[in-house]
Amino acid sequence: MTPSQPGPQEPLVFDTGFRAGELPDAVAADGLNAGSDAHYGSPTGEQRRLLSGKALAVLGHRSAVRVTGEDRLTWLHSLLSQDMVSLQPGESRRALLLTAQGRVEFDLHAVAAAESVYLLTDRARAAALAAFLERMRFMLRVAVEDLSSSHAVAGFAALDRLPAAVQEALRLDAVVVFEDPWSQDALGGYAYTTPEAREHLTEADASWSEALVANELLGPLLETAQAAGMSLAGALAVDALRIHALKPRLGAEGDEKAIPHELDLLRTSVHLTKGCYKGQETVARVHNLGHPPRRLALVHLDGSSHTLPAPGSPVFLQGAEDGRPIGALTSVALHEEAGPIGLALLKRSADVGAALSVVDDTVYPAHQLPIVAGDAGSVVGRPKDIGRTRELRRPS
C-alpha cells in the first residue's frame, strides 16, 4: 500500500488513534510536528495535491479543547484577545491567549458549534490550555475538556476543493471544521502588513481548514478519501504552504518573547476595542505609543545549495556576516513553486530593502519580503488613512 494508492487490506489508523510513522512510506516528523508524519516520499508533490484538493494531512501534532456551558462565550471573551461574544455556530476565528505582559502564550483556532466552542491548538499545549482554563472557571457555568486522547485533526486546503464524497463525510462525521480566516482582516483588527506582503498574500493560496473528528471515525474518513482518489500529505507539505502564506506559528516565529504586533497578528487575532483581557495593556501601549522590537519577514533563500539552513540560524545583513546578527530564521521549507523559503524575525531597525545572509554550516544569500512594516505601531497622531482597522458590527 502507498499513500497515493492505499489498499483496503491494510488499516489506515489504529484502535487508539493515529500514530506517526506506521502508515506505509511514512517518515515520522520531529520537533514541533512530532506526532505527525513528515512526508510520504514526495513533500513537494504532496503540496500540489493539498492545494488541488487531492490530499489530506493527518495532523497528529494538533488537538482541541472543548468549552461548553451557558457562559462559554462571555467567559472566553473576557480571556482571549478576539471578540467571542458574537461568534456564531459554524463560524471560525483566530484568537490569542496572552500573558500579563502581552506575550503570546497560546495561538488558537476557535470554531463554534451549537452548544460548544472548540479551541484547536498544538497537542503538546492542549493539556496546559485546558488546565489554565479550568483554573479560570470560578463560579461560571462552563466546562472544559481536553480532547487529545479521543479526537484527531485532519487538515486540507479548502473544503470546496475536496471530492463531493469527502465533503459529505466531513459534514456528517466531523465534530467541527475550522476554516482559517487568515487572508481576511478581522473585524476590530489592525494590519501592520506591508504593501508587498499584502500583494503576496493576495496572490498566494492561504486557504486552510482543520477538521476535528473522533478517533474511531478517522479511519472511515481516510477510506472515503482514498476511494475518491485522494492521498496523504505530511507535515513538511503543510509547513511549506504555511510559510508561503506568511502565517507565523507558535514555537517557531512565536517564541517566549513574541508579542502579536511583531507577527502581524493584530490583523487576524486581536480585537482592539472589545474590552479587557489579559495582556491588553501591553497590546494597546505598543500599538498606540510604541513600536514592536522585531518584525516578521519572508526570506527567499539562494537555491544553489542542496541543503536548507536550520531554524534558529542567525540572519545577517549581506556582507556583514562577521558582525552582529539582525535576527534569526524561524521556519524554513522547500516550496513547490517559490523554492527555498523561510520566515525570520528581524530587528525592527534593520533595513527593509537590504539583502541578507542566513548562516548555518554555510552562508545562504537571501532577499527579504517584509511582512510587518518597519514603522509599525505608534498610531496615535497618525493620519486616519494609515493602517487598516475594521470595527466590530454586532448582529441586531
How do the pLDDT tens digits run along the chain, 396 residues long? 344 444 333 445 545 567 887 888 999 999 999 999 999 999 999 999 999 999 999 999 999 999 999 999 999 999 999 999 999 999 999 999 999 999 999 999 999 999 999 999 999 999 999 999 999 998 899 999 999 999 999 999 999 999 999 999 999 999 999 999 999 999 999 999 999 999 999 999 999 999 999 999 999 999 999 999 999 999 999 999 999 999 999 999 999 999 999 999 999 999 999 989 999 999 999 999 999 999 999 999 998 888 999 999 999 999 999 999 999 999 999 999 999 999 999 999 999 999 999 999 999 999 999 999 999 999 986 655 445 555 433 333
CATH number of 1-292: 3.30.1360.120
Q: How far is Cα 331 from Cα 315, in angstroms, rounded to an integer?
A: 12
Where does CATH 2.40.30.110 sit in the chain? 293-370
Q: How far is Cα 394 from Cα 392, in angstroms, rounded to an integer?
A: 6
| The predicted structure's pLDDT at residue 91 | 98
Where does CATH 3.30.1360.120 sit in the chain? 1-292
CATH superfamily of 293-370: Aminomethyltransferase beta-barrel domains (2.40.30.110)
Query: Dihedral through CA 213, CA 141, CA 127, CA 210, nearest 10?
Result: 30
Distance between terminal CA atoms of the chain? 54
User: Is the full-model pTM beyond 0.85?
Assistant: yes
Residue 114: enclosing H or E segment and its boundaries? none
Q: How far is Cα 180 from Cα 241, in angstroms, rounded to an integer?
A: 13
Closest alpha carbon to 181 in 158, 161, 203, 148? 158
| The predicted structure's pLDDT at residue 395 | 36
Distances (CA, A) of 127 to 81, 132, 224: 20, 9, 31
Chain-centroid distance of CA 347 in Å reads 22
Amino acid at residue number 24: P
- For residue 135, give the 3-state DSSP assignment: helix
Closest alpha carbon to 330 in 276, 258, 223, 228? 258
Q: Which three cell numbers stand for residue 65?
A: 479543547
Contact at 8 Å (CB) between 62 and 268?
Answer: no
Query: Dihedral through CA 270, CA 31, CA 333, CA 193, nearest 10?
Result: 10
